[in-house]
Each structure stands twice: as C-alpha cells, then as structure tokens.
Chain A
Amino acid sequence: EPEVTQTPSHQVTQMGQEVILRCVPISNHLYFYWYRQILGQKVEFLVSFYNNEISEKSEIFDDQFSVERPDGSNFTLKIRSTKLEDSAMYFCASSPTRGSPRYTFGSGTRLTVV
C-alpha cells in the first residue's frame, strides 16, 4: 500500500527558530495538503497545494508559514519563526484527483517549541 512519508517524526525547537517539516507524498498524487492537530484537539486544515502553487490556505497559515515542492518528490512546510503555540502534530496528506476524498495522511511530525 503506497504511503505518505513524513520526517522527522519528532522535532524539538527553540522559540524563534525556523523549522522545515518534510513530506514525500504518494508518487502519482497531484494534490498536497498540510493539516495540524494541537494535542487533544481536532485536526485542522492549513494549506492545499496543486500545480506548484497554493490553492487555498486557512487563517492559521499566516506569513510565518510557507510551503514548497522543491523537486518532484518532496513537499515541505516551513515555519519561519516558531512560537510556543505552533507546538502540534503536523500531518501531510495527498490525494490523486481534485475532488477525491481519498486523502492519504502521513504519520505526522510532532513539533515541540520550547
């Protein structure tokens, strides 16, 4: 079964530092997403990405956040200057077609900002 791979599984960073979370989506998928889940809370949409540009972003995805697909396989989320409230699980997901509900989620990166 194809998987979405995320690295690292856990990252601890100091407040104010930049972090890059990495994802390798399923190879023939065209739509990519980042979601986050603060501990004990629901999963929240951050951003969707298609054809090398952002399709939609939420209010959470402010100027401190950016996404990039630097090559044909990786999809990254950068947080420029981390805040304590950025501590959460960050999930990457991909889907094969625009309207498909069949997202495949990665196992997540647990980001802890201290």
Chain B
Amino acid sequence: GQQLNQSPQSMFIQEGEDVSMNCTSSSIFNTWLWYKQDPGEGPVLLIALYKAGELTSNGRLTAQFGITRKDSFLNISASIPSDVGIYFCAGLTTNYGGATNKLIFGTGTLLAVQP
C-alpha cells in the first residue's frame, strides 16, 4: 500500500532555531499537504502543495513539493513554544475517476521547543 515516511521521528530544539523535516513516499501524489496536530486535537492544515517543485510559504512555514511528486520538506523558521506538536505530511489520493478522495498520512514528526 501507499506509505509516507517522515524524518526525523522527533526533534528537540531551542526557541528561535530553524527546523526542517522531510517526508518521502513510495508512490506519487498530485496533492501534498502538511498538517499540525496539537495534543488532544485533530490535524489542522498548514500548507497545501499542488504542483511538482512548488515552494509555498505560510508565515514562518515553508514547504516544497519534490519534482518527482514523491517527497516534500517543511521548514519552520525562528521556532516559538507554540510550534510544539506533531507534524504530519499527507498525500491526497483520488479514486474512481475522481469520485472520491482520501488522505494518506505520514508517520509524523514530534517537535518539542524549549523556551
């Protein structure tokens, strides 16, 4: 089945540091997404990527969709304590001629920020 592997599994950084995390897939996705999950909450969409090679920013977050459509990275600049959480990549798949879609989530990267 389709799998998305994220690295690193966890990161412990100091406030103010920049962070980079990666996601690689065993298959191609046409749309790639990055989500953040706070403890006890559902995933919240951070960035959506639609085109191979696309580089998109959302405030201190920057994400790029790999040329092969099988990988992506997410960078967070100047981290702050509220960046703490689990970051998931996800690929959007469509089936049955686009009649339905679903998200395939990555394994997650846990980010801890020391004030």
Residues on B with beta carbons closer than 8 Å to the beta carbon of A31: 101
Could you give, for residues 47-65 of chain A, a 1 whenever the CB lies within 8 Å of some chain B CB and a 0 otherwise?
0101000011010000000
Q: Identify which of residues 71-103 in chain B touch chain A, using a CB-to-CB cut-off of 8 Å.
A: 88, 90, 92, 94-96, 98-103
Query: What would 11 more interface pairs be, CB under 8 Å, given A91-B42, A91-B43?
Result: A31-B101, A43-B88, A45-B104, A50-B100, A55-B99, A55-B100, A98-B98, A101-B33, A101-B103, A106-B42, A107-B41
12 A–B pairs (Cβ distance < 8 Å), ordered by A: A43-B103, A48-B102, A91-B42, A98-B98, A99-B98, A101-B31, A101-B45, A101-B48, A105-B42, A106-B42, A107-B42, A108-B42
Taking A99-B98, A101-B31, A102-B48 as contacts, is the C-beta distance between A35 and B40 under 8 angstroms? no
Complex A-B, nearest 5 residue pairs according to Cβ-Cβ distance, in ascending order: A105-B42, A55-B100, A43-B105, A56-B100, A45-B102
Residues on B with beta carbons closer than 8 Å to the beta carbon of A44: 105
Q: Which residue in chain A gives the minimum CB-CB distance to B107?
A: A42
- Decide if B44 is an interface residue (CB 8 Å cutoff): yes
Q: How many A-B residue pairs have CB under 8 A?
A: 62
Residues on B with beta carbons closer than 8 Å to the beta carbon of A106: 42
What's the nearest-Cβ distance from chain A to residue B82, in Å? 17
Which residue numbers of A lie inside 8 Å of B, CB to CB?
4, 31, 33, 35, 42-45, 48, 50, 55-56, 58, 91, 93, 98-99, 101-103, 105-108
Tell which of A50, A98, A105 touches B44, judged by Cβ atoms closer than 8 Å: A105
CA distance A45 to B92 in the complex (A): 11
Residues on B with beta carbons closer than 8 Å to the beta carbon of A91: 42-43
Tell which of B42, B102, B108 touches A42, judged by Cβ atoms closer than 8 Å: B108
Tell whether, in the assembled complex, residue A56 and residue B108 are in contact, meaning their CB atoms are under 8 Å apart: no
Residues on B with beta carbons closer than 8 Å to the beta carbon of A105: 42-44
Q: How many residues of B contact A (CB 8 A)?
A: 27
Tell which of A98, A99, A108 touches B40, judged by Cβ atoms closer than 8 Å: A108
What's the nearest-Cβ distance from chain A to residue B104, in Å? 7
